[in-house]
Amino acid sequence: MSAEQSAPPVIELSGVRKTYRSGAIEFEALRGIDLEIRGGEYVAIMGPSGSGKSTLMNVLGCLDVVTAGSYRLAGEDVEELDEAELARIRNREIGFVFQGFNLLPSLSAWRNVELPLVYAGVGKEERRERAALALERVGLGDKLDNRPGELSGGQQQRVAVARALVGEPTMILADEPTGNLDSVSTADVLGLFQELNDAGRTIVLITHELEVAQHASRLVRVKDGLIVEPSAVAA
C-alpha cells in the first residue's frame, strides 16, 4: 500500500449535487458526485467547458455550498458551516492558485504572500518571516521587494503559489494555473507543483488541457455534471 493510499482522506464527496435556480428555471451543474482524495495525492480534475468542473472547484474550495449530498474537508462536514466558518476553513485548509494570479499590483511580492496571514491575525514580524520563507521555497528569495509588474508571468504564478503555501494549508487547489502562461513558464510552474507533491503536499489541479493533467498522478474526468473516469492514472 502506497503512502497516499494509507493517508486519511482530505476530500470526501458523497452524492454531491449542485442546482442553480433563476425564477422557474433550474440547472443541475453537478448531478451526484462521489470523490475521495487522500493526503499526499496529486489529482487533476479535467473536463470541457460546461462539464461542471468549475462548479466542482467552487464546491471543493468552499466557495459554494452543495444543494444535496455531503462534503467533508479534512474530516469536517462543510455543508453544515455558516459563512464565517466557511471563510475560516478556506483560510486554514486550502491554498488557492488561480489562472489570473490575483496579485495586488501595488504590493511587493512578500506583501502579496503575507495576505492570508493578515486575515488569520498573525503578527507583522512573523508574517514577514513566513512570507520570505515561502518565496524562498518557490525559488524567489531574491524577489521579495519586486512588484508583480516587475516579474514574468511564471514568476508571478510562483508568487501566487507562495501565497497559497504560506498558511501551511492541507491542500493546494489550483484552477487553470497555467492558462495565462507560455510553454516555458507552464513547465516551470508544473515542475514546482511536482516538487511540492514530492514533499508530501496534496495538489488538486483543475484543467481542460490533457497535457497539463498528465502531470498529475491521477486523472478525474468530469462530463455533464458527473464523474465519468474517477481513478485513471494520468499518463
- Answer yes or no: are the C-beta atoms of 172 and 137 closer than 8 Å: no
- Domains recognised in the chain with CATH numbers: 42-64+82-228 (3.40.50.300)
Backbone angles phi, psi at 13, to 5 degrees: -110, 135
State whether the Cα torsion 231-233-234-235 is positive or negative.
negative
What's the chain's Rg over C-alpha atoms?
Answer: 18
Give percent of the chain above pLDDT 90: 79
What's the pLDDT band for 1 if we cut at 50, 70, 90?
A: very low
Map grid coordinates 483543475 to a residue: 206
Mean pLDDT of 5-34: 91
97 pLDDT above the threshold of 90: yes
CA–CA separation, 91 and 71 (whole Å): 17
The pLDDT tens digits of the residues spanning 143-174 come to: 999 999 999 999 999 999 999 999 999 999 99
